[in-house]
Amino acid sequence: MALGGQAKVPEMHVSRIACLAVVALTPSLAAGCSGQAGSALPAAAHSVVDGAPSQRAANGSLLYVSDSGTDDVQFFGWPKPSKPLGALTGFNEPQGLCNDGKNVYVTNTGDKNVLVYAAGSSAPSRTIEDPGGYPVWCSFDPTSGALAVSNVIGSSYGPGSIAIYNQAKGKPRYIASSELTHPGSVQYDASGNLFITGSGSPRGSVLAELAATSKHIKIVCSSSTSGFFGGELAWDGKRLVVGAQGGDGVYRLNGCKRAGFTPLSGASDIVQFYIDGNRLVGADAGNADVEIYPYPKGGSPTTTLNGAGFSEPIGITIVAGSKN
């Protein structure tokens, strides 16, 4: 989740398909190429929907991990993950994951779509097409039912955009900004405001907001004015949380100000991370594993998962399910 000393897209991990376009488009971005029809939900199960208040997920929930190196998605039992319960296959560069409390959404970058799986199901229930660009990250808004998807670059390798799907289906509404030409991570808060990290000229690395009542992206802060360098985003139920420069932890934000720091000892390149109550779960592409840390205290991981041969784990989310 680290950014270097120059402005670039935070951890795009657009390795095979879109990476070729990114490198051709802007050489300074090259270093970035290396945040549910299926089973019935148990009555007591719940999970932390993307932008909902943080509650600890109940027994029977599922932890999903996308692997851009193997082109599959593995899932584990939660809150006590060990060996994978199954794998979803057939992707072309799976990256960011998000959930709506019942389904997991997988951004399938190479095929320019988002695949939707009911929790515990091995086959997609539907496909959401994204003809306007290469989808990398996503977030679900529990207040409106909207799905936001970030396109790091456009379908013709031009500037990227944010695709908003009403009720997480149908054709998207695309929103772009000349100050945010390469959107990165997206994250809804509990009020339906969408936050975005990425890069754009002349501001460099930026944190932007698409307010629930607005149709326009507003820059909240940037590296050119505040020294802001952000990575992937998450929501802990109270605050927006952003990956720190250097990959050594995450910051809780109050606007552009750092309101608290969680150190992640031993992390190499945690890309997407997910906060479930008092635990932070990170997909570490550098260590080829998944690491679970106490939150907000941080420190050394309490659990490390290697899955069934992780290569480049990128995305992560937790969704309610029927398997333990």
**Which domains are seen in the chain, by residue range?**
16-320 (2.120.10.30)
Distance CA 253, CA 268 (A): 22
- Mean pLDDT, the chain, rounded, equals 84
Q: What is the CA radius of gyration of the chain?
A: 17
User: Residue 1: pLDDT above 50?
Assistant: no
Tokens describing residue 245: 């420069």
Q: What is the reported pTM?
A: 0.87
In Å, how far from its chain's centre is CA 64?
12
* pLDDT score recorded for residue 201: 72
- Tell me the pLDDT tens digit for each residue of 262-285: 999 999 999 999 999 999 999 999
Range with the largest mean pLDDT of 21-35, 88-102, 210-224, 234-248: 88-102
Distance CA 186, CA 315 (A): 13
Q: For residue 198, what are the β-bridge partners?
A: 183, 206
Q: Which of 258, 202, 196, 182 is nearest to 232 (CA)?
A: 196
User: Residue 51: pLDDT above 50?
Assistant: yes
Which whole-number Å values give the CA distances from 190 to 46, 48, 53, 196, 236, in the listed order? Answer: 16, 11, 6, 15, 10
* pLDDT score recorded for residue 37: 28
Distance CA 282, CA 273 (A): 4
* pLDDT score recorded for residue 53: 67
Q: Which of 5, 10, 15 is nearest to 313 (CA)?
A: 15
Q: Which of 172, 152, 154 is nearest to 163 (CA)?
A: 172
- Tell me the pLDDT tens digit for each residue of 223-262: 877 777 778 999 999 999 999 866 689 999 998 888 999 9
Range with the largest mean pLDDT of 16-30, 52-66, 160-174: 160-174
Asked if 9 contacts 29 with a C-beta cutoff of 8 angstroms, the reply is yes
Segment among 13-27, 154-168, 268-282 with least mean pLDDT: 13-27
Q: For residue 77, what are the β-bridge partners?
A: 62
Tokens describing residue 17: 């398909």
* pLDDT score recorded for residue 246: 63
* pLDDT score recorded for residue 200: 82
Asked if 318 contacts 78 with a C-beta cutoff of 8 angstroms, the reply is yes
* pLDDT score recorded for residue 28: 32
Which comes out higher in pLDDT, residue 228 or 177? 177
User: Residue 20: pLDDT above 70?
Assistant: no
Q: Name the one residue in this structure whose structure tokens are 């975005």.
A: 196
Q: Name the one residue in this structure whose structure tokens are 């989808």.
A: 135
Amino acid at 128: I
* pLDDT score recorded for residue 277: 94
Residue 85, class by beta-carbon neighbours within 10 Å (0-12 exposed, 13-18 middle, 19+ buried)? Answer: middle
* pLDDT score recorded for residue 321: 64
Residues 6+ apart with CB under 8 A from 12: 18, 19, 22, 29, 32, 33, 136, 152, 182, 184
Q: Which of 110, 278, 279, 283 is nearest to 185 (CA)?
A: 283
* pLDDT score recorded for residue 7: 25
User: Residue 3: pLDDT above 80?
Assistant: no
* pLDDT score recorded for residue 54: 64
Asked if 60 contacts 321 with a C-beta cutoff of 8 angstroms, the reply is yes
Asked if 78 contacts 64 with a C-beta cutoff of 8 angstroms, the reply is no
- Tell me the pLDDT tens digit for each residue of 195-217: 999 998 777 889 999 999 999 99
Amino acid at 160: G
Give the model's confidence band at 39: pLDDT under 50 very low, under 70 low, under 90 confident, else very high.
very low
Q: For 151-165, what is the mean pLDDT?
A: 95
* pLDDT score recorded for residue 231: 87
Which comes out higher in pLDDT, residue 151 or 15? 151
